[in-house]
Amino acid sequence: MGSGWRRLSSRTAYENPWIRVREDAVLRPDGAPGIYGVVEVRSPAVFVVPVTDAGEFVLVEVDRYAIGRSSWEVPAGGSDGQDLALAAARELREETGYAAREWRDLGEVFSLNGVSDAPGRVFLAVGLEPVGGAETEAEGITGLRLVSRDALSAMIAADEITDNESLGALLKALVVLDREAAD
């Protein structure tokens, strides 16, 4: 495994079409035996940071079953085995009703990597055009908000955006946008 951990055995504790939960007997980096539970996500996720021509970030409010409340997030979802760029475009349309003229691949991320193997890809979507086709009810989306960069910072500071995947995707996008603005 290269990290000091050594898997001795593994068993599937649960699985469905989207995830597999495995329990591994391991030797920890200190040499002591242990058990490690890992959630494996079957298909990578995609995270889209949509930015309008006016420089506004598009966020969606999602009713999240797992935490029992709504959450402001970037559009995102599973790739379901689809090409990641195509999946990102699909998620943007489904969750916001927008399409983008230009896409930038901002790189790979991993969600909850202390307990899961859940890879994802972050995309910056610019040149947004309303195209319809949003499936907000099916996606659990209860709101859509266009926010300036200052408003985005204020939402983060006020704990209005608490989804770590969205925070990571926004950080990657802000780094790229800042570099482009400096050039």
Phi-psi domain of 162 (left: phi exceeds 0; alpha: psi -120 through 50; beta: other): alpha
Domain boundaries, the chain: 6-41, 45-182
Within 10 angstroms of residue 111's Cβ, the number of other Cβ atoms is: 19
- For the chain, 183 residues long, give each residue's pLDDT as a single digit of tens: 457 999 999 999 999 999 999 999 999 999 999 999 999 999 999 999 999 999 999 999 999 999 999 999 999 999 999 999 999 999 999 999 999 999 999 999 999 999 999 999 999 999 999 998 888 787 789 999 999 999 999 999 999 999 999 999 999 999 999 999 998
Phi-psi domain of 55 (left: phi exceeds 0; alpha: psi -120 through 50; beta: other): left
The answer to whether the beta carbons of residues 40 and 22 sit under 8 Å apart is yes
Question: According to the model, what pLDDT value does residue 1 have?
Answer: 47
Question: According to the model, what pLDDT value does residue 139 have?
Answer: 78
d(CA 51, CA 177): 10
Determine the straight-line distance between the first and last CA of the chain, rounded to whole angstroms.
41
The answer to whether the beta carbons of residues 88 and 121 sit under 8 Å apart is yes
CATH architecture of 45-182: Alpha-Beta Complex (3.90)
Question: According to the model, what pLDDT value does residue 2 have?
Answer: 56
The answer to whether the beta carbons of residues 88 and 74 sit under 8 Å apart is no
- DSSP H helices, 26-148, are 84-96, 136-139
The answer to whether the beta carbons of residues 43 and 79 sit under 8 Å apart is yes
Question: 3-state DSSP call for residue 172?
Answer: helix
